[in-house]
């Protein structure tokens, strides 16, 4: 009997150890795992803007500002120079070789862009806390308002181009149909109705699965704008079972490329796919900005940006602004 009890105890310990290991190896984590990350001394990176960060963040989390603005060129929407990113990371103590957890607000794709950035510059131990500050607050956990800092480090950032797909590689993939392609943009962008480059439309043979489809309620952002819901809980990820159904038409063993407008939304879908067990997933880094602006690239449902109409609309808006400003001045005088 004693031997049997010892056997049961050993099995339980093994199971607990395996569970802890699995939790640590999950790319997308929950609140309990976030607490475990804090306990083991992981670097916690809050990718929100500074104002939101100082209004309250997870204790010990560091912040370099809104990651989408700080690390990207505002016009090209590509990374700024690597040496500049390296200086920012090193100054903040953001060591890409350490255990890192990235978070922001629930449903913010720039959290996944943060993870993508760490991986692209050589990091291999990075996780995502998808529900972020919203879940942390809902759980009644401690919040810090003072800025947290880490000692500066000296770490060289080494880009890993093999993790992404370049413009040249994408042209070959489309030509030889060597990968399954997911367009993570909106249906209007996919169809060419919403034009955000020289041309609208989509890459031939791509299937449209908007990144919001990963959420329990894909319409949450729209509902929030219309004040039809009071919080963003609908942006929580679907269950693993429902996510598998969402991507059931795809082969998890086949090369898979995800793109959007500039790679941010695609980073979320790519991470979700990897978490589901897809083995060969890459982000087309330049995404639609790279494809739609390349007139040599084939486009399905092709439309063109009407620059004249756009300029006329902007001029009309400016006139209205000028009229409102004049009316405001007259009222104040």
d(CA 186, CA 302): 15
Q: Which residue has the tokens 């890993």?
A: 160
Please say whether the dihedral angle defined by the alpha carbons of residues 60, 64, 68 and 71, taken in this order, is positive or negative: negative
Kindly tell me the number of DSSP H helices and DSSP E strands found in the chain.
Answer: 14, 11
Contacts of 304 (CB under 8 A, 6+ apart): 195, 198, 199, 200
Residue-wise over 63-72: b if at least 16 C-beta within 10 A, else e? bbbbbbebbb
Strand-pair partners of 103 = 46, 129
CA distances from 188 to 91, 207, 209 (A): 41, 13, 12
Contact 128, 102 (CB under 8 A): yes
In 10 A of CB 237, how many CB atoms?
Answer: 20
Contact 33, 23 (CB under 8 A): yes
Contacts of 71 (CB under 8 A, 6+ apart): 79, 80, 85, 88, 117
Contact 234, 217 (CB under 8 A): yes
Q: How many residues does the chain have?
A: 333
One-letter-per-residue 3-state SS of 182-211? EECCCHHHHHCCCCCCCEEEECCCCEECCH
- Catalytically annotated residues: 260
């Amino acid at each position: 009997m004693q031997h049997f009890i010892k056997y049961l105890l050993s099995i339980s310990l093994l199971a607990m150890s395996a569970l802890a290991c699995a939790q640590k190896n999950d790319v997308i984590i929950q609140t309990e795992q976030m607490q475990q990350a804090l306990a083991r001394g992981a670097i916690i990176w809050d990718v929100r803007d500074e104002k939101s960060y100082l209004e309250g963040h997870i204790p010990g989390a560091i912040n370099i500002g809104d990651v989408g603005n700080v690390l990207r060129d505002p016009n090209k929407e590509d990374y700024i120079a690597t040496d500049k990113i390296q200086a920012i990371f090193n100054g903040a103590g953001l060591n890409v070789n350490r255990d890192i957890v990235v978070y922001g607000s629930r449903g913010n794709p720039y959290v996944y862009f943060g993870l993508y950035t760490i991986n692209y510059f050589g990091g291999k131990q990075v996780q995502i806390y998808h529900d972020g500050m919203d879940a942390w607050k809902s759980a009644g956990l401690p919040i810090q308002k003072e800025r947290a800092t880490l000692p500066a480090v000296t770490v060289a950032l080494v880009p890993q181009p093999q993790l992404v797909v370049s413009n040249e590689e994408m042209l070959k993939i489309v030509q030889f149909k060597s990968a399954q392609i997911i367009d993570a943009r909106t249906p209007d962008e996919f169809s060419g109705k919403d034009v955000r480059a020289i041309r609208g439309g989509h890459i031939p043979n791509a299937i449209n699965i908007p990144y919001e489809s990963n959420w329990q309620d894909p319409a949450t952002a729209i509902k929030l704008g219309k004040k039809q819901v009071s919080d963003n809980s609908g942006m929580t990820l679907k269950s693993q079972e429902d996510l598998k159904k969402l991507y059931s038409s795809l082969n998890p063993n086949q090369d898979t490329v995800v793109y959007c407008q500039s790679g941010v939304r695609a980073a979320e879908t790519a991470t979700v796919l990897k978490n589901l067990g897809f083995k060969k997933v890459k982000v087309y880094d330049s995404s639609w900005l790279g494809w739609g602006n390349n007139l040599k690239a084939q486009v399905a449902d092709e439309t063109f940006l009407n620059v004249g109409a756009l300029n006329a609309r902007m001029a009309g808006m400016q006139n209205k602004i000028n009229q409102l400003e004049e009316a405001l001045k007259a009222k104040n005088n």
